[in-house]
Amino acid sequence: MEAIHHPDYDRTVNMPFVPAIKVKSGRFCGSPARPHCRSNHDHPHKRDQIQQYMVNDLEAQTRRAMDGIKQTLDASGASFKDVVHYFVFRARPRMGDIGRASAIIGSYFAPFNHKPTSTNVAVLELGEPEQLIEIQMFAVSIEEK
C-alpha cells in the first residue's frame, strides 16, 4: 500500500490521516473530505484556519469538498469514474439540502456518465461548528498487468 498526498502537501503540519491509500494490486482510494480539509493545516484545527475556509453555505462547502476529493483521486491515479460508493453527512439539514448537494456532487460524475452508489445521512454535528457537509468516497480500479 502507498499513502497518497496532494502535490502541495506540507509535511510540517500535523495530520492524523492521509487523503488516500493506493493498493498495489488495484486501486482503492478512500477519500474523506471536509470542505476545508486540504493537507495544509494543523490538527487539532486552529480556529483562524477553519474560519478562513468554512463559509456558511452548503453549496460552497460541497464544491470545496468535491474539489479536494478530485485532488486526492488525481494524486492516486484515479478519477470520478472509479468511484464505487460515496457517503454524504450533512449537519443542521434543511429542506432541499439533499437535492442541492446531490446536484453539485453529480456534476463531478457527469463527464464520465457515471453514477456510483451513495448514502446520504443527516447528523447532529460534524467536526467543526461551521461544517455543514462531509463527503467520503471510495474508488476502485484494476491495474492492467
| pLDDT tens figures, 110-129 | 999 888 888 899 999 988 88
| Placement of cell 495544509 in the chain | 40
- Classify the C-alpha dihedral 128-129-131-137 as positive or negative: positive
The DSSP secondary structure of 15-59, one letter per residue, reads -SS-SEEE-TTSEEEEEEE-TT--SSS-SSPPHHHHHHH--S-HH
Statement: residue 57 has pLDDT above 50: yes
State how far the Cα of 55 lies from the Cα of 135, in Å rounded to an integer. 16
Region of 66 (left: φ > 0; alpha: ψ -120 to 50; beta: rest) is alpha
| pLDDT tens figures, 3-40 | 777 788 887 876 655 666 666 655 555 555 555 455 55
What integer pLDDT is reported at residue 109 of this predicted model? 92
